[in-house]
Amino acid sequence: MTWFRCAETRPWASMRLFCLPHAGGSAVFYRPWAKEISPAVEVHTVQYPGRADRMADAFVTDAHQPARLIAGAMAPLMDRPAALFGHSMGAVLAYEVARLLQERGAAPAHVFASGTRPPHDRGDERRVSDLDDDGVVEEIVKMGGSDAEALQEPELRELVLPYIRNDFTLIEDYAHRDGTRLAVPLTAIIGDSDPHVSPEQARGWAQATDGRFALKVLPGGHFYLTDQQPAVIAEIHRTLEVPAAG
């Protein structure tokens, strides 16, 4: 099964935006972006294994493994400039993918790192992956990532909790490795009331690249980008210097 889902192909697009979801997320999270983003941009979203239409595919347990696989899958799609956007766990994976692409002489034009601390400062928060099922659900609801009532359904829990727990294990076990230093422009975007990353911590992303760095703080919590989608897309347009949709 392929790694990317493209809701709206645009052969005329001048660049591609590759979006990487959060822990427990799937490609559907970014589906609305396809119609809202500039016509000059074609959106491709990563579908992690073990969920949705990849339910039969085995989980990956080391963050560096999906980064390698995603970078490899991007190779035939790098015939035009590309940018990466990752939220939370997806931001760390986007960073690792960008490093690999740079090593291969195909560095992305820009990296957007959303809703998380930089890779060299993962913090000391408690491990969600070690909690029981009720604890995992409680943490997800606190973050605003899923509907509390839906996760009370036993059938849904049985379906989604294995991959949610796997994702948290993957990112909580992540350790930054020395190696290629990123030289790509990077924008960190966070919500002003996100309990998991402060503006000061987000500024640490500047140490992750030798490229130009910018920080954008928007109203909202960890999933600020749900309510602030127009502002996020406007920031992408401004940064990538592409015309707005419509």
Residues, the chain = 246
The one catalytic residue among 88, 114, 146, 193: 88
Q: Which 3 state secondary structure label does DSSP give 134?
A: helix
DSSP state of 156: H
DSSP state of 61: -
DSSP state of 23: T
- With vertex at residue 230, the alpha carbon angle to CA 209 and CA 6, rounded to the nearest 5 degrees, is 75
214 touches 188 (CB < 8 A): yes
Strand boundaries in the chain, DSSP class E: 4-5, 15-20, 41-46, 82-87, 110-114, 186-191, 213-218
List residues bridging with 163 in a β-sheet.
none
Cα–Cα distance, 99 to 209 (Å, whole number):
10
- With vertex at residue 144, the alpha carbon angle to CA 219 and CA 126, rounded to the nearest 5 degrees, is 105
Query: Whose structure tokens read 């339910």?
Result: 55
Single out the residue of 85, 59, 70 nearest to residue 167, CA to CA.
Answer: 59
Cα–Cα distance, 209 to 96 (Å, whole number):
12
88 a catalytic residue: yes
Which residues are catalytically annotated?
Answer: 88
